[in-house]
Structure 1
Amino acid sequence: MAEAHSAVAFSFAITHDGWDVNFDREVLYLVWESGIRSWKKRLARFRNSVHNGVYPGHLQSLYVLWTLLVAAHFAGFSVPFGLVQKALAVLPSNSTMWQVIACLLAALTMWLTVIFLMRYLLKLLLMYKGWMYESRAPGSKISLKTMLWISVVKVLSGWNKPKLYSFQGSLPRLPLPAVNDTMKRYLTSVRPLLDDDNYKRVESLAKEFEETIAVKLQRYLVLKSWWSSNYVSDWWEEYVYLRGRSPLMVNSNFYGTDAILLRPTNIQAARAGVIIHLCLKFRRLIDRQELEPIMLQNMVPLCSWQYERLFNTVRVPGIERDKIVHYQDSTHITVYHKGRYFKVLVYSRGRLLKPAEIQVQIQQILDDKSEPLVGEERVGALTAGERSHWAHIRQTMFNRGHNRTSLHCIERAAFNVCLDDFDYGYDEKDPSKLDEFGRVLLHGKGHDRWFDKSFNLCFSKNGFVGFNSEHTWADAPVMGHLWEYVIWCELEIGYAPDGNTLGAVESPPPAPIRLQWDLGHEDLLKSIDVSYNIAQKLLNDVDLRILMYTNYGKGFMKSCRVSPDAFIQLVLQLSYYRDAGRFCLTYEASMTRLFREGRTETVRSCTIESSEWVKAMENPNSTIQERMELFVKASHRHQLGYQDAMAGRGIDRHLFCLYVVSKYLELESPFLQEVFNEPWRLSTSQTPHGQTSMLDLKKHPKCVSAGGGFGPVADDGYGVSYVIVGEDLLFFHVSSKKSCPITSSSNFVKQIERSLKDVQDLFKEYKKQQNGVKSSK
């Protein structure tokens, strides 16, 4: 095979005539380039490590201090604490050179002392979370304590421009709540879901747990919170994700959509060329740490730990547990098209290929008329099926030959690209096509995505794009950051009038290499079919609906002077009650990235206050005034719960860790069993939008992504993702299972539309009444 021949860079043989040496200069040159690039990255990492290690200081301040000490010493002034003389006492001589070195040692001592004091002070300051609870309403005043805190934080963090990981050493650890506090919050959260008898039973279980084994379990968590960077994240990744044996597709992976109101080109290869190039530029920003960390209120940093595994990462299946494997570098991507896999080199002669060059490579794949090998078209279904089954097949059938080489090529790629051979996307004349767009991104055909990769880029034949992302390595905001960068920069780069990429291709880029497989073994084909059938059953059961709501958006919510997130969550509570006739345990994801290695915490959105408001909305005898007062009260309660979750005062991660310790110690707890047997019938998440200042919706009002979604968490529940993308635009992604007779995504979307209108009418009627009262006075 030509591919196999080109892969041989060097060979030799002993003949009667002596040594027979063969080598391919081009391949050896690529090896040389790869080594040079690798060493450059190592040097950059070392330089960044030094920068981050002394942040918020700067090396230049050391040079200035050294100069001042040299000048002071030779001018006869006494250096503080006699540091120069103490250094000279241990140096070989008192010559001029050694005096200069002694000044350097003194400067280094003083400089490091100040730097570490600043870092420790910044860490103490970042532990303060009172600023989160300050009212942001117009005309409200900030407390003196918070004002002083803001001033000091800005001074300490404003000396030097931060790199991506500059604040990592200054971020505080996630605090461990007291058991008593968690019990109180838990009981309050389940009160609207239980009748009096059941509530008393759970209250009794909680009291027994708190007074018995919780004391012992908490001691272990205290030790873990002292010893580890984050007492939750490693166990969360291990037991919630890596030990899960069910398919990743639908159950774990999530998706994100294009900026659907824009389609800069309908040429598939051109769109792929630009998007792939921009993703790789983002990777370069991460590698060089030139990406600025996200700062809340432009002063409080979020943990950037999750960015490290965005590229060159794969989830490798195991019999009992999977593992996340991250490669330091990768110079290629893999591309799937019409059942075939290709390796595409994205660097040539030490530089990243331009969009026009990548378009040429993609077009070569689209023009390739070769047929898939036996079993090749559906081999990706193995990543969509049961994890233990895939692990067994990987260990026995992919451990040698072409299968091993091709598998490693896919797993070591920067990311995977799927060139779909059919149209999908947004159609203004038929918004219902968004449902198909979401389904294609969530699960595709069940075999045309490599679900183990950190993310797959999916390109439709007509130029739309989206992604499917594995969830273990990071949470949605990280992918959202990449997606904002890509969508915005694509507008900046632009396309030629004919829809192709800009720029000329001066020399042919490296040609795509078709991956080879040996999948014809009967047992292997049967194993692929097993995973494929599971994937088909799973994806055919998905009921996904996407609502594009244009009657109002963030603008109206802000005019109501309530948190937009609280507004939406109350709408969802009303919608679920109308759909199911009851309340349910509701999950809303909140981040804990204000702490080192923080991931998420649960906001229990179904509260006593929200249930009272919903009942008032359904009670025809309740007045507008009553409904309005209950709505404001419920929104404030929800906002407080969200703030508590972000500040490390949540409920569920603490209970989760107590549960893990109990399993390690083989201690049974009826209370913990009760907690973790409760299904999350309504699982919700707000898709992050506008994380950076890059997106300028005033300049490009149509540059808005429709957000993304995920599958239902419970068999009889809903998965709801929503994004507030503009002053007058909302998107809801609602998923459920067709096999469940009591859920319907279509009906739930109708209830959301109805609830949105009812809440809008509530505020309008309330304002009319208020204006009427004022005019009568």
Structure 2
Amino acid sequence: MAEAHQAVAFQFTITPEGIDLQLSYQALNQIYLSGVRSWKKRFSRLRNSVIKGVYPASPSSWLFVVIAILATMYMRSDPSMGLIKMIQQHLPLSTQGQTMLSALVFSTLLWLSLILALRFCLKLLLSYHQWMFEQHGRVSNTTKVWVTLLRLLSSRKPLLYSYQTSLPHLPVPPIKDTVSRYLKSARPLLTDPEFKRMTELADRFESNLGNRLQRYLKLKALWATNYVSDWWEEYIYLRGRGPIMVNSNYYGMDFLYVTPTPIQAARAGNTITALLLYRRKVNREELKPVRLRTVIPLCAAQCERMFNTTRTPGVETDVLQHWQDSEFVAVYHKGRFFRLWVYTAGRLLSPREIEHQIQRILDDLSPPQPGEEKLGALTAGERVPWFHTREQHFSSGINKRSLDSIERAAFFVTLDDEEQGMSGEDPAGNLDRYAKSLLHGKCYDRWFDKSFSIVIYKNGKSGLNAEHSWADAPTVAHLWEYTLATDAFQLGYTEDGHCKGDVDRSLPSPQRLAWDIPSEACSSLAVAQALADDVDCHVFPFREFGKGRIKKLRVSPDAFIQIGLQLAYFRDRGGFCLTYEASMTRLFREGRTETVRSCSNESCAFVRALESGEDQCRRLFKLASERHQNLYRLAMTGDGIDRHLFCLYVVSKYLGVESPFLKEVLSEPWRLSTSQTPVQQMELFDLKNHPDFISLGGGFGPVADDGYGVSYIIVGEDMINFHVSSKHSCGETVIPGVSPSFSLRGFVPQCLGVPPPFPTLVLIRYFLHF
């Protein structure tokens, strides 16, 4: 009860002598320091609002404008062309006071006008995307002038959100262009009669209903910041009623070859500290905006909900709840939930103090309360049962208070009692188990509704599981890169593997969360377990060559890999399929993703020629790679296919009209879903001096029951890491008679080597071990 007494600021007792007032100075001091920290954050937010509100100018430029106006007035000149005198007439002050105040008012108005003009110019410059379509090494004079002007306007050091109001809005493509691109993408997947039928459906849609839907969509684009993102978040993610575990959430892995410390509590201490340091940078907007080619900014809106965010279930749709700040994290260990305070006396605990607190949790031998151990399975199962259970058992009392502690936490931490990683007698199989553990764990030892959950394993290995609705993988990858680099290279460990820093032994112990859970409350585990058992994962570090060798061929590494995947699928299934590759649209405000349809006429022509042994493979490969690059550029610059068609479909549903064309397009399965996770902060990793500190990247579950999920990360010049997933229940992705751990064997045939005249184009070797 010591913690409970310390939490009371004052107590009083009525005695015959009067009122005996007892103050807890420790509690009052905590209240005071917490208030000071809160006001500091408010002041920081206010200051940042002013700085980014006037960007690309600076607040001090106001003083320069005022001095310039006063100097010209002192020289008997009127720079306002009579406006200052007009302002004077409406000021009830003395003549001298009127002159000074009217000059200040005019200077401020002029300054604000100049800011709006500069911001408008910056927005026009950021709307120019022709640079992306120019050949490497052949930059036009227009692009050179554009880069120069952009550098001039961006010369001031920007805050994280400085560019937000200057980013252009996502344009609505002409419906004719979208339909034409769709038909071209569908051609290699359809027979002649099927393609003729689809062309007729497209023509009818374009000439009739399509134009009507397009008008509504353009009206939304004029009104909304982004005509896609809000509908995409709601209808693709939040309205899904199935489990988000495996189907939506994705994972990120630790270093491949290195574990900075084998001590679980120490790894947790540094990891939690690094994450909170990143949150501090986000709150203070000290993070540098991500910029392409060091000058073109990307939208940073997804960072706003990175921490203190939870997805809560509903009947028809879920809701994302975000809180401004939280001074604690939620921790799970061996069936128990804890609330761990990470601030004391207004300061962030040191890594060694957090390690000390984590060790207290690990040493706690108290058993789980009834129903507590598998409570997390509620977030892994169907959404509607989770909503009803929440309403019935977690809407009041201690259950609500404990649930609030989890949902309001900065993030969720699982202290896993297993060991994971590549080391051991079966490194390939260990990596597969490592991936499955991060993707779904035991189905109840993660909190899948949190924006992200950190997993620290018994042997010091780490990883994360992220909820998808609030942000896309590059945003989480940026956070994870910073965390890994800060953990290993900045915070570091002592020689015996513990965190650095001092420990305040008087810190109160982490608080056990209390529950009163009926036995029937957790009914989602069976659904989640069946889903987890069905998914198969394989992780494959490809070391024979990387982007360095690919670039010598003057080919895009991403196009190279995507064509290799088309070849792999063709050799596996004897045909082609609709292929999804995620591309970003963060060149626009509140942009998220767009689809690159990687299966094109050109890639199919190359694969067929290669398989039949034709001599024109080199030319066809060049055409296929150029086509893929062009598709990627169109997607990034707002001329993609699928988001436009998706929004047209949403409008048709609101209007209550049916479109056979849209219905058929949006029902097509993505049997090959792919995504590249780029390394965004190579400056954090010194691969030359520390080549073993290579990140494995992350992966996700298959989108279609009879398909594959493929994620890959290009690390350095000589390595590509692949993550492949499929389902055991699909007979076409599982070879009969082969054990489950070999079920992905059919996806990547023995060697995706390219026979002469392509001896250097060995695309991807067999993913699986024998």
**Which residue identity is paired with 2:85?**
Q
TM-aligned CA deviation for residue 702 of structure 1: 2.2
The answer to whether structure 1 residue 174 and structure 2 residue 170 are counterparts is yes
Aligned residue number for residue 121 of structure 2: 121
Structure 2 distance, partners of 1:312, 1:510, is: 23
TM-aligned CA deviation for residue 746 of structure 1: 4.2
TM-aligned CA deviation for residue 755 of structure 1: 4.9
**Which residue identity is paired with 2:509?**
A
User: What per-residue deviation string (whole Å, max 9, x for no partner) do you get for residues 353-400 of structure 1?
Assistant: 110110110011011111110111000110001001001111110011
Counterpart contact for 1:446–1:535, Cα < 8 Å: yes
User: What per-residue deviation string (whole Å, max 9, x for no partner) do you get for residues 68-113 of structure 1?
Assistant: 3233333434334244433333222245454333332222122111
C-alpha spacing 1:34/1:589, structure 2 compared with 1 (3 Å): same
The answer to whether structure 1 residue 611 and structure 2 residue 601 are counterparts is no
**Which residue identity is paired with 1:589?**
A
Structure 2 distance, partners of 1:314, 1:112, is: 39
> Which sits farther off after the overlay, 741-750 or 646-655?
741-750
C-alpha spacing 1:512/1:641, structure 2 compared with 1 (3 Å): same
TM-aligned CA deviation for residue 505 of structure 1: 1.8
Give the one of 562, 575, 583 matched to 1:569: 562
C-alpha spacing 1:619/1:15, structure 2 compared with 1 (3 Å): farther
1:481-492 pair list within 5 angstroms: 481-490=478-487, 491-492=489-490
Q: 3-state DSSP class of the match of 2:524?
A: helix
Aligned residue number for residue 515 of structure 2: 517
**Which residue identity is paired with 2:134?**
E
C-alpha spacing 1:126/1:417, structure 2 compared with 1 (3 Å): same
TM-aligned CA deviation for residue 469 of structure 1: 0.3
Structure 2 distance, partners of 1:234, 1:34, is: 36
C-alpha spacing 1:601/1:3, structure 2 compared with 1 (3 Å): same
The answer to whether structure 1 residue 438 and structure 2 residue 428 are counterparts is no
Structure 1 distance, partners of 2:126, 2:221, is: 17
Aligned residue number for residue 646 of structure 2: 656
The answer to whether structure 1 residue 589 and structure 2 residue 582 are counterparts is yes
Structure 2 distance, partners of 1:388, 1:455, is: 21
Structure 1 distance, partners of 2:666, 2:644, is: 12
Counterpart contact for 1:294–1:692, Cα < 8 Å: no
Aligned residue number for residue 370 of structure 1: 366
TM-aligned CA deviation for residue 759 of structure 1: 7.5
> Which sits farther off after the overlay, 23-32 or 489-498?
23-32
Structure 1 distance, partners of 2:30, 2:753, is: 61
Aligned residue number for residue 131 of structure 1: 131
C-alpha spacing 1:11/1:720, structure 2 compared with 1 (3 Å): farther
C-alpha spacing 1:14/1:669, structure 2 compared with 1 (3 Å): farther
> Which sits farther off after the overlay, 507-516 or 495-504?
507-516
Structure 2 distance, partners of 1:41, 1:146, is: 41
Structure 2 distance, partners of 1:429, 1:28, is: 57
With normalisation by structure 1, the TM-score equals 0.94
TM-aligned CA deviation for residue 61 of structure 1: 1.3
**Which residue identity is paired with 1:35?**
G
Aligned residue number for residue 674 of structure 1: 664
User: What per-residue deviation string (whole Å, max 9, x for no partner) do you get for residues 584-641 of structure 1?
Assistant: 0000000000000000000000000001111112113x12xx1111111100000000
**Which residue identity is paired with 2:438?**
L
**Which residue identity is paired with 1:571?**
G
C-alpha spacing 1:387/1:99, structure 2 compared with 1 (3 Å): same
1:397-412 pair list within 5 angstroms: 397-412=393-408
C-alpha spacing 1:147/1:436, structure 2 compared with 1 (3 Å): same
User: What per-residue deviation string (whole Å, max 9, x for no partner) do you get for residues 236-278 of structure 1?
Assistant: 0000011100011101100000012221111111111011001
Count of aligned pairs:
754
Counterpart contact for 1:3–1:514, Cα < 8 Å: no
With normalisation by structure 2, the TM-score equals 0.94
Counterpart contact for 2:350–2:502, Cα < 8 Å: no
Structure 2 distance, partners of 1:371, 1:347, is: 27
Counterpart contact for 1:574–1:755, Cα < 8 Å: no
Counterpart contact for 1:229–1:597, Cα < 8 Å: yes
Structure 2 distance, partners of 1:342, 1:702, is: 35
Aligned residue number for residue 73 of structure 1: 73
TM-aligned CA deviation for residue 50 of structure 1: 1.1
Structure 2 distance, partners of 1:268, 1:406, is: 25
* Cα root mean square deviation, aligned: 2.1
TM-aligned CA deviation for residue 216 of structure 1: 1.1
C-alpha spacing 1:20/1:506, structure 2 compared with 1 (3 Å): closer
1:452-471 pair list within 5 angstroms: 452-471=449-468
Aligned residue number for residue 549 of structure 1: 542
Counterpart contact for 1:267–1:463, Cα < 8 Å: yes
C-alpha spacing 1:14/1:554, structure 2 compared with 1 (3 Å): same
Aligned residue number for residue 420 of structure 1: 416
TM-aligned CA deviation for residue 3 of structure 1: 6.4
1:342-361 pair list within 5 angstroms: 342-361=338-357
Unpaired stretches in structure 2, ≥5 consecutive residues:
735-740, 763-770
Give the one of 286, 302, 306 matched to 2:302: 306
C-alpha spacing 1:755/1:61, structure 2 compared with 1 (3 Å): farther
Give the one of 621, 633, 642 matched to 2:623: 633
**Which residue identity is paired with 1:200?**
K
Structure 2 distance, partners of 1:88, 1:667, is: 61
Percent sequence identity over aligned pairs: 52
Q: 3-state DSSP class of the match of 1:341?
A: strand
Structure 1 distance, partners of 2:347, 2:445, is: 30
User: What per-residue deviation string (whole Å, max 9, x for no partner) do you get for residues 703-739 of structure 1?
Assistant: 2210100111101000110111122211111111101
Q: 3-state DSSP class of the match of 2:89?
A: helix
> Which sits farther off after the overlay, 659-668 or 107-116?
107-116
Unpaired stretches in structure 1, ≥5 consecutive residues:
767-777
Counterpart contact for 1:88–1:94, Cα < 8 Å: no
Give the one of 496, 500, 503 matched to 1:502: 500
Counterpart contact for 1:602–1:653, Cα < 8 Å: yes
1:708-723 pair list within 5 angstroms: 708-723=698-713
